Chains A and B, each alone.
With several copies, the nearest count.
Chain A
Amino acid sequence: MSASIDLKDKLMSAEEAVRRFVKDGDMIALGGFTVNRNAMVIAREIIRQGRRELHLVMHSHGQAMDILVGAGVVSRLELAYGGTGRFAPTGIRFRKAVQAGQVQVEDYSNFQMSLRFLAGALNLPFIPSCSGFESDVLNREGFGPELRGRGRIPSRKAIITDNPFSPDREPVVLLPALAPDVALIHAQFVGEDGTVRIKGLTFLDIEQAKAASRVIVTCEEVVPSTFLRQDPDQNSLPPFLVDAVVLAPFGAHPTACHYFYDYDPRHLNMYRQVAGDDNDFRTYLKEWVYGVADQEAYLAKVGVSDLMRIKANSSVGYAPGLDRR
C-alpha cells in the first residue's frame, strides 16, 4: 500500500501556519535547546502577526524564547533555563522582562520539565520524580493562585507525597503533565507524506510534539517519502501528528541545525549587544523581524558570506574552525 497521507494540505507559508494555528493566549512549547534548532521563522512570524499573552513552556531555551519575550508577546513562562550558553548565559531580554515584572515565571528543572512533557505525550495526568526535594524549585510557586487551575495551568506546581509501594514511604514529587496548545519544531527533513526526521540530538522535541494539540514543523528540506521510508528507524514523528509544514532553509538561524549549519556567532554576539539596550533592541526588531517579510528576505539580509561561514561540514555536522569568539 502506498503512503496514506499527502503533504500538500499541510505545506504552507509561515504566515499561514501562524495565522491558522497560533492564537492569542496559547500555551506554546518551544522545541530545540538554547542555540540549537530554534524555530526562529515561526518566532519571528508570531511577532509580526502581533500575537499576545502567550504562555511559553520549555526545558532550556534561548534565542526564540528571548526574542519572543523581548517583543512583548509573552505573558508567562514555565522553564528550567533561559539563555544561550556562552553567548548570553542569561537571556538578555528574558532577564530584563523578569526583573521588570513584565512576565511571570514558573521555574522547574530540566528533568522535571522533560518528565512533564513525557507525561503529556503518554497521556498520563502526572508523573513522579525524585529531583529537587526541599529546593525552592519545589517550595516556591511563580504563578499566583489567581492563575492556578485556569486553562492549561495545573492546579498545583507540584505535590510532595510518598511512595505507596515502599514500606518506608519515601518522599516523592508528583509533577503535573504538560499539554500545550502548540509545539514549534524545526527539523532537517520532512517527507512528501509529512513524516518528520530530526538529525543530531532530538532533545525533547518528540515528546513536546506528542504532548501538544497542534504541531508546526519548519524544515530545511522537503524530500520524497521514499528517502525517509528507506530507513524508518531514523524518523521522528508520523505525518498525522503534524498540522503545518513550512519549508524554511536556514530556518533556525542564528541557532544551529546539525548537518546543515552551525550557530552564527556574529549574529548572536550582535544580538547580545543590542538586546541590552531598549532602543537598540527596538531597532533590531524593526530591521530583522518587522522589516523582513519572509525567510527569503531575512536570509538576504544575513547575507551569503555569513551563511557560507556557518555552513556545516558534512563529516561532523558543524562548521569546523568557525571563529566563535
Chain B
Amino acid sequence: MAHAYTSKEMMALTAGRLVKNGDVLFAGTGLSMLAAAVAKRIHAPQSVVFFETGGIDPALKELPLAVADPRVMAGTCMNSGLLDAFSLLGHRRLRTIAFLGAAQIDPFGNINSTCLGDYHRPKVRFPGCGGACDAASLAFGVIIFMQQEKKRFVEKVDYLSSVGWLKGGNSRRQAGYKRGGPIAVVTNLGVMKFDEQSRRMYLAACYPGVSPAQVAENTGFDLDLTRAGESAPPSQEELTILRREVDPQRLILGPAPE
C-alpha cells in the first residue's frame, strides 16, 4: 500500500539510499543532514557524519540549522576546526561523500552557488561556494540536491563555483583533480547520474508517478532518458524514522503531506 509523502521526504530518503555503510559523510545542513541521519539509522550504522566547521560524529539529538549550529558540536568524538575538517575531506584513507546543493547545474554536474548574471554586478547574489568548492574538489564522491527546473538545469552555469566532471570525459582529472566527481543529482522528480565515459548527466530514475518526459520538461539541456528506471517509494520504516526520529519538528522537512 502506498503512503503519502512529500518530495522533500523522497529526496532525503533517495540520497540516503546512495550512502554505503562506512562512508564518511560531509554534510551541510538542510536535506543533506536528513539524508545522512536516515542512512545511518537504517543501513549505514558505521557511517560517520562530519561538518566543515570541525564537528565530527555529533550525537545529533536535535537537527542543526547551520553547519556552525551548536548542535554539530555536542556529543561529537572531536571538536576541531576548519583545517581539520578539510584535511579529513580529502584524506586518501577515507571514502568521503559530500552532499551539496546549488542554484544552477550544467550537464556535467558543475554547479553554481555564487550568483546569477554578471559576477561583478550580479542580478542575484547567493552566499558563495563556502566549502562546496572544496568538497567538489577533494571528496571521494559528491551527491547534489537540486530543484528540477529549466532555469536551474542549464547548458552553462553563470558562475562555476564547484567543479563536477568539468567538460566531461577525462577533463576533470586533466585539470588536476586526483579523485572525486559527482555521483548523483537528487531532485524533486528523480535521480540523475553521469555516464561512465562521457560523464554527461542522464536520467537514472524517476520517482513513482513522475514520467521521464516530465523530468525532461524541467531540464534546460538535453537529457538522456533511455536509462531511466523508477525509484522505489519510501517504505513505512523509512518514513517513520525520518519523521519520528530525525526531524520530528519538521524544521527541514517543512509541511507534512496532506
- The interface of chain A, by Cβ under 8 A from chain B, is 1, 3-5, 32-36, 59-60, 62, 79-87, 89-91, 94-95, 98-99, 101, 107, 109-112, 114-115, 118, 121-123, 130-137, 139-140, 142, 170-172, 191, 193, 195, 200-207, 210, 213, 225, 228-229, 232-233, 235-241, 256, 258, 262-263, 312, 316-318, 320-321, 324-325
Contact = CB atoms under 8 A, between A and B. Distances in A.
Given A87-B66, A236-B78, 7 more contacts: A80-B131, A110-B133, A132-B163, A170-B176, A195-B78, A201-B73, A240-B93
A200 B176 contact: no
A324 B125 contact: no
Interface string B132-166: 11100110000000000000000000011111001
A320 B81 CA distance: 24
Nearest to B62: A320
Contact of B77 (A36, A107, A229, A258): A229
Given A1-B40, A137-B161, A202-B81, A112 B73 contact: no
B100 interface: no
Nearest to B245: A1
A193 B46 CA distance: 11
B177 to A, nearest CB: 6
A324 B250 CA distance: 11
B189 interface: no
Chain B at the A interface: SS class:
loop
8 contacts: A87-B65, A114-B83, A130-B177, A135-B161, A207-B83, A225-B77, A318-B69, A324-B65
Contact of B61 (A99, A110, A123, A316): A316
B73 A5 contact: no
A111 B82 contact: yes
Nearest to A60: B130
A315 B50 CA distance: 21
Contacts of A195: 77-78
A80 B129 contact: yes
B251 interface: yes
A237 B78 contact: yes
Contact of A203 (B56, B68, B119, B249): B68
A101 B121 contact: yes
Interface stretch (B1-9, B84-92, B197-205, B226-234): B84-92
A109 B130 contact: yes
Contact of B69 (A36, A94, A239, A320): A36
Contacts, number: 281
Contacts of B90: 123, 130
B127 A36 contact: no
A210 B78 contact: no
B218 interface: no
Interface of B: 24, 29-30, 37, 40-41, 45-48, 50, 52-57, 59-62, 64-83, 86-94, 114-115, 119-134, 137-138, 159-163, 166, 175-178, 249, 251-252
B40 A95 contact: no
A82 B69 contact: no
Contacts of B79: 200-202, 232-233, 235
Contact of B133 (A135, A140, A203): A135
B181 to A, nearest CB: 13
Q: Report the 4 A-B pairs with minimum CB-CB distance, sorted nearest first.
A: A85-B66, A81-B130, A33-B68, A171-B176
Contact of A317 (B29, B60, B68, B74): B74
Given A134-B175, A238-B48, A142 B41 contact: no
Contacts of B62: 318, 320-321
A99 B125 contact: yes
B65 to A, nearest CB: 4
B40 A85 contact: no
B162 A85 contact: no
Contact of A316 (B57, B65, B75, B83): B75
B45 A4 contact: yes
Contact of B160 (A136, A239, A256): A136
A205 B79 CA distance: 13
Contacts of A1: 37, 40-41, 59-60
A122 B57 contact: no
Given A204-B82, A320-B62, A85 B69 contact: yes
